[in-house]
């Protein structure tokens, strides 16, 4: 892949959560906000994935079916009855484009026909297909996609393709709002024993979720009005019906399992019929006061909740009906107390809460959305008014694009979602999703209640790659999201570790360009934070981290070992200012919430931070919650190659290159070096000092092509005074002879178009600046 397809040069890694105050350096130009910055041609196949790196999480099985390629023509069902064409949609289901008619009933009937006639005998290699026609289709109510092994494919997401226009009807819009009218009211949307929270995260255009109703709710479901029936759908899966209580291990009776275990001990009574080998189970650990105390959260910091903050979906590999245990496909990432008090804690609010092993009785499997556009039509509202408006413009219409709930091994690719009611893509208890090559732009509601995200909640072992997101509130992981990979995306909003013990997520090779106006205070109506507070006075930076005392309002602290590597991040710190980079050391691995051996809350001088806001530019390395003691010479921790060829680093595909220590914390503002540009042929070179400390500095070197034709290779050289040397470098191949240092390009940055620049960088041990700088 030519680097010319990526207009923003890749930084090679994060220096810190953010550099120390005053240590940001002005970028040479504002990165272009174009979809070309997303890496849409990455080889995500299992063969191109790196082997697990010692000391880091194993991300090699993230995404669809643990690393399988997304399905192609060979995986579709040859039975014509299971491949609905546009002509058949028109003749059999009255789904006709551009006729102005409501296509909801016909599309739902087509999905239902696949569910009953094809899904029972389908598989991942025998997928049904609904091909949508080119043109505009109109949808007025949520479409339930509970047909396993189904692809819904359009004729393209651009001009001449398929466009779904969602206009929610009266039975789909939320008919109960909070008292201040700012958000839809879960408490006000009940019926019988059901509450509005049962449909969380809310309605959408497509909902990939079982409609199975638990027998105990059958009569209420039958009697419920049309705008309440979905409260009961999927209740066959909910943990209070499907879940089984746990019992203690021998010799460790307070815990059903510990971190690193694969065997979970179930209660001595209760049916095991829903637990089967190859089935999915959510292991849900009860919150406890000891767990909250680990986050430096006490009852005086807010309402502590009897919930399962720590949870994860696993595949069951064994069921022992005699000893009443199940075996999981990989080790647990958290301790599982039997109850909220079995770890020695007092009860939260006087109530003992049980941990659960909750099997997914009816998960939806193998659903893919491909190659169409969708939007939510909102007559009377102007999309331009939503660009930097972090409020809710129409709270009754907070509908999502695609919702995955109790779903697994599913995907979205080639979708264009513009102006959705809230999240374009959202998950809630989902496993091994693959969200690749999509474009999202705007939402009508981006305010309190948590709206307008590109959101991964309760999502595990999933892959988000090559997506472009514009004018949304955040890209978010929350609620125990774990084992996910976010690679090669292009965002103009922050990457938000929202809180709720999300952990072990890899975030690399993303372009994140955040304007000053991306801030909670940019709001015209129904403004405020998710937890009920007022607008934040700060501006969001490229990373947001959930501090315990702040995030307790909705879920609790961000968890351990969320890794940032080789991202290009910049921030416009004040209105109208130039964009400044947020990272410097390209090859350093930044593990947030980690001290090298265990979880650590971010702190300053030993005091845990109460809120990330206003503290985004502090240095958390060196024992304050961000472990930056490791580097890696490759471009990616996930992939062997970004171009299809082997990585240029000899050890990049097999092992990390540990650093003896973290980069020293910067102590002074960076400045351009004194070295002038020095021409050599058509190439000129300039340097920018990106950070300084008492014993050294970091520097980026930019090589510009002033020729009329592109160059395919380059070579830069300089000398350093005695007492200063190069301690590390990136995005180049370095050779040194005494005080003379030579750098040549690597595979991905040798080609420089006329008038353009490429760059590499280095850290220096010593404070003297380079001289005799040449490039050719």
Strands 439-443 and 468-470 come out as parallel
Both tokens of 423, joined, read: 């999240």
pLDDT confidence of residue 173: 96
pLDDT confidence of residue 2: 29
Range of lowest pLDDT (176-185, 224-233, 691-700, 710-719): 691-700
Higher pLDDT pick, 232 / 647: 232
pLDDT exceeds 70 at position 643? yes
pLDDT confidence of residue 490: 96
Instruction: Compute φ and ψ for 221, nearest 5 degrees.
Output: -60, -45
Give the mean pLDDT of 301-312: 91
DSSP label of 672: B
Q: 104-117 vs 86-93: helix axis angle to the nearest 10? A: 100
Give the mean pLDDT of 465-470: 96
Give the mean pLDDT of 69-94: 95
Angle at 28 between CA 26 and CA 33, to 5 degrees: 100
pLDDT exceeds 50 at position 387? yes
Residue-wise pLDDT for 142-191, tens only, equals 999 999 999 999 999 999 999 999 999 999 999 999 999 999 999 999 99
Residue-wise pLDDT for 277-295, tens only, equals 999 999 999 999 999 999 9
pLDDT exceeds 90 at position 43? yes
Helix (H, G, I), strand (E, B) or coil at 385: helix
pLDDT confidence of residue 758: 87
Give the mean pLDDT of 237-260: 96
CB–CB of 147/112 below 8 Å? yes
Range of lowest pLDDT (215-224, 243-252, 616-625, 670-679): 670-679
> 565-586: string of b/e by CB count within 10 Å (b at 16+)?
bbbbbbbbbeeeeebbbbbbbb
d(CA 365, CA 359) in angstroms, rounded, equals 14
Partners of 543 in beta bridges: 495
pLDDT confidence of residue 660: 26
Give the mean pLDDT of 575-582: 90
Among 339, 336, 355, smallest CA distance to 347 is for 339
pLDDT confidence of residue 76: 94
pLDDT exceeds 70 at position 645? no
pLDDT confidence of residue 674: 32
List CB contacts of 762: < 8 A, sequence separation 6 or more: 698, 699, 701, 726, 727, 728, 729, 730, 734, 741, 743
Residue-wise pLDDT for 664-707, tens only, equals 222 222 223 333 333 347 898 888 877 777 788 888 898 999 88
Range of lowest pLDDT (31-35, 248-252, 473-477): 31-35
DSSP label of 149: S
Give 585's pLDDT tier (boundaries 50, 70, 90): confident
Which pairs count as long-range contacts for 152-156, CB under 8 Å and 24+ apart, including other chains?
Answer: 152/111, 152/206, 152/367, 152/368, 152/369, 152/370, 152/372, 153/129, 153/368, 153/369, 153/370, 153/371, 153/372, 154/370, 154/371, 154/372, 154/373, 155/86, 155/131, 155/371, 155/372, 156/371, 156/372, 156/414
Residue-wise pLDDT for 403-462, tens only, equals 999 999 999 999 999 999 999 999 999 999 999 999 999 999 999 889 999 999 999 999
Give 658's pLDDT tier (boundaries 50, 70, 90): very low
Residue-wise pLDDT for 341-368, tens only, equals 999 999 999 999 999 999 999 999 999 9
């Amino acid at each position: 892949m030519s680097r010319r397809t990526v207009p923003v040069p890749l930084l090679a890694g994060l220096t810190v959560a953010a550099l120390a105050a005053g240590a940001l350096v002005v970028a040479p130009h504002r990165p272009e906000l174009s979809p070309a910055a997303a890496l849409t041609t990455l080889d995500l196949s299992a063969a191109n994935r790196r082997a697990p790196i010692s000391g880091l999480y194993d991300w090699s099985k993230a995404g669809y079916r643990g690393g399988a390629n997304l399905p192609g023509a060979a995986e579709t069902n040859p039975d014509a009855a299971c491949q609905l064409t546009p002509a058949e949609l028109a003749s059999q289901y009255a789904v006709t484009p551009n006729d102005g008619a409501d296509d909801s009933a016909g599309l739902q009937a087509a999905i239902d026909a696949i569910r009953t006639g094809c899904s029972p005998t389908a598989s991942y290699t025998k997928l049904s297909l609904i091909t949508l026609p080119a043109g505009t289709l109109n949808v007025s109510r949520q479409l339930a996609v509970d047909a396993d092994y189904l692809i819904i494919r359009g004729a393209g997401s651009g001009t001449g393709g398929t466009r779904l226009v969602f206009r929610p009807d009266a039975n789909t819009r939320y008919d109960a709002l909070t008292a201040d009218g700012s958000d839809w009211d879960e408490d006000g949307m009940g019926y019988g024993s059901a509450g509005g929270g049962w449909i969380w995260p809310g309605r959408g255009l497509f909902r990939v979720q079982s409609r199975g109703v638990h027998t105990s709710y059958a009569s209420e479901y039958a009697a419920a009005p049309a705008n309440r029936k979905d409260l009961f759908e999927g209740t066959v899966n909910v943990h209070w019906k499907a879940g089984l209580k746990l019992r203690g291990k021998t010799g460790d009776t307070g815990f059903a399992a510990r971190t690193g275990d694969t065997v979970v001990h179930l209660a001595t009574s209760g049916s095991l019929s829903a637990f089967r080998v190859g089935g999915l189970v959510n292991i849900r650990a009860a919150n406890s006061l000891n767990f909250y105390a680990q986050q430096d959260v006490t009852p005086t910091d807010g309402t502590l909740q009897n919930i399962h903050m720590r949870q994860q979906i696993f595949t069951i590999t064994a069921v022992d009906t005699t000893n009443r245990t199940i075996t999981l496909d990989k080790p647990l990432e958290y301790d599982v107390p039997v109850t909220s008090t079995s770890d020695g804690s007092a009860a939260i609010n006087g109530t003992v809460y049980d941990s659960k092993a909750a099997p997914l009785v009816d998960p939806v499997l193998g659903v893919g959305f491909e190659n169409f556009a969708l939007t939510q039509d909102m007559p009377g509202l102007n999309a331009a008014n939503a660009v930097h408006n972090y409020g809710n413009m129409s709270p009754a219409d907070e509908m999502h694009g695609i919702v995955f709930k109790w779903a697994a091994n599913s995907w979205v690719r080639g979708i264009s979602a513009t102006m959705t009611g809230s999240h374009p893509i959202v998950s809630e208890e989902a496993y091994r999703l693959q969200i690749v090559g999509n474009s999202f732009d705007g939402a009508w509601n981006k305010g309190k209640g948590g709206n307008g995200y590109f959101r991964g909640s309760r999502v595990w072992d999933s892959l988000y790659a090559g997506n472009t997101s514009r004018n949304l509130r955040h890209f978010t992981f929350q609620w125990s999201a774990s084992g996910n990979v976010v690679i090669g995306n292009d965002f103009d909003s922050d990457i938000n570790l929202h809180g709720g013990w999300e952990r072990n997520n890899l975030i690399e090779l993303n372009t994140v360009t955040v304007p000053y106006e991306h801030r909670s205070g940019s709001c015209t109506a129904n403004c405020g934070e998710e937890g009920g507070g007022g607008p934040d006075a700060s501006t969001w930076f490229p990373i947001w981290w959930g501090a315990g005392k702040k995030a307790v309002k909705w879920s609790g602290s961000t968890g351990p070992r969320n890794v940032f590597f080789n991202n290009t991040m910049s921030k416009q710190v004040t209105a109208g200012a130039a964009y400044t980079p947020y990272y410097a050391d390209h090859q350093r691995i930044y593990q947030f919430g980690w001290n090298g051996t265990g979880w650590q809350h971010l702190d300053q001088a030993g005091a845990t931070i109460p809120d990330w806001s206003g503290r985004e530019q502090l240095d958390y390395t060196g024992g304050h919650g961000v472990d930056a003691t490791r580097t890696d010479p490759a471009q990616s921790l996930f992939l062997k190659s970004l171009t299809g060829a082997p990585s240029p680093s000899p050890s990049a595909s097999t092992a990390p290159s540990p650093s003896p220590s973290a980069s020293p914390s910067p102590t002074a503002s960076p400045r351009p070096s004194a070295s002038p540009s020095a021409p050599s042929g058509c190439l000129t070179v300039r340097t920018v000092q990106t950070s300084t400390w008492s014993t050294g500095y970091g520097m980026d070197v930019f090589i510009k092509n002033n020729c009329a034709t592109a160059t395919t290779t380059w070579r830069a050289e300089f000398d350093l005074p005695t007492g200063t040397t190069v301690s590390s470098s990136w995005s180049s191949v370095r050779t040194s002879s005494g005080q003379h240092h030579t750098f040549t390009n690597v595979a991905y940055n040798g080609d420089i178009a006329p008038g353009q620049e490429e760059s590499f960088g280095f850290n220096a041990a010593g404070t003297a600046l380079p001289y005799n700088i040449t490039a050719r």
